[in-house]
Structure 1
């Protein structure tokens, strides 16, 4: 028994091997060539390129909502603080859904902040706090960019016979973005609290 214990101990090393290095398993921009999918690799590669653009812009939009949630102030603080956080959570789901589609098509998702910032079409906000109307305007512009990308991808997916991507960008990305932009856009309507004659 003691010999067996000694043998196990001599083979085990309690120090984590955290210096592991290897080549990339799959390069960004490539797709798995031979996989059980009805779309051919060229079509999947094209869709993955479009979806990575949408993913980058959606990640930035998601993060704009968290920045706005943290930095909002003023008389509408409570309502917007909660609304921005709700929209952040919804965008988190949108981002995950897009990323899963990219992987399903045999591609590699863009993921890291530095890489996302190089690809996104959404202008970067200042590090500091902005006034509420500017925050909302920035969010609305980001939504517009995402929705325009959805329309472009939907058309390309339809032309390529990629019903899965078409359905995803319309149902899971475009519609939530339309609804969110409507909700926050209403905060910029110049309407008096009381109508007088």
Structure 2
């Protein structure tokens, strides 16, 4: 028989499909890595980062939903702004997940798992009025900012300056700027006065 008759023979270009494997690290655990941080500090940081990560993934999804469903006179400006903010939140998702992995943990990855962990309330399935959509985004931001600041202070006390820096310089700073831009759209100010 030739190797083409047996696709699993070494040297074949046939992909070995339908692979199965065991889970090699459970969620909520950390492997030992030589970072100069205690096991407890890394475990705690991963738990807090995964909470912020779950909420940030939900905020990203809210931004995309509202970007698609935007209505009214400010459609164009808000459509573009919400997409820009969504891209920035997606970048945060990646750095948060990579920090969990770097600490030896397991980043929350499955959207169904994210839904179990998030503190961000689920929005209606339909379209809300624009001020309600913006207010929903602001509430989600505030929840993340409160949690991220608390987590940053606690991990700093455990000596985890890397996680503290990520939370403060990226999550908090990005969130604060996005809140500013969103909140200004809710100011009821006429363009001109008679």
Smaller-chain TM-score bracket: over 0.9
Structure of greater Rg: 1
SS at match of 1:18: coil
Residue aligning to 1:23: 22
Q: 1:174 aligns with which of 167, 172, 175?
A: 172
Residue aligning to 2:186: 188
Q: 2:4 aligns with which of 4, 9, 28?
A: 9
Deviation digits for residues 152-180 of structure 1 (CA, Å, limit 9, x no counterpart)? 11111111010000000000110000000
What TM-score does the superposition give when structure 1 sets the normalisation length? 0.92
Shift of 1:18: 3.1
The separation in 1 between residues aligned to 2:4 and 2:16, in whole angstroms, is 17
Residue aligning to 1:126: 124
The separation in 1 between residues aligned to 2:40 and 2:146, in whole angstroms, is 23
SS at match of 2:170: helix
Residue aligning to 1:139: 137
Distance 1:16 1:8, change over 3 A: closer
The separation in 1 between residues aligned to 2:19 and 2:4, in whole angstroms, is 23
Q: Which runs of 4+ in 1 moved over 6 A?
A: none
Indicate if the aligned counterparts of 1:97 and 1:172 stay in contact, CA closer than 8 A: no
The separation in 1 between residues aligned to 2:189 and 2:159, in whole angstroms, is 46
Residue aligning to 2:72: 74
The separation in 1 between residues aligned to 2:131 and 2:4, in whole angstroms, is 64
Deviation digits for residues 45-64 of structure 1 (CA, Å, limit 9, x no counterpart)? 00000000000000000110
Residue aligning to 1:117: 115
Residue aligning to 2:85: 87
Q: What CA RMSD, in Å, does the superposition of the two structures yield over aligned residues?
A: 1.4
Q: Structure 1 stretches of 5 or more lacking a match?
A: 1-5
Aligned residues: 190
Shift of 1:16: 4.5
Shift of 1:32: 0.2
Shift of 1:15: 6.0
Q: Structure 2 stretches of 5 or more lacking a match?
A: none
Indicate if the aligned counterparts of 2:56 and 2:89 stay in contact, CA closer than 8 A: yes
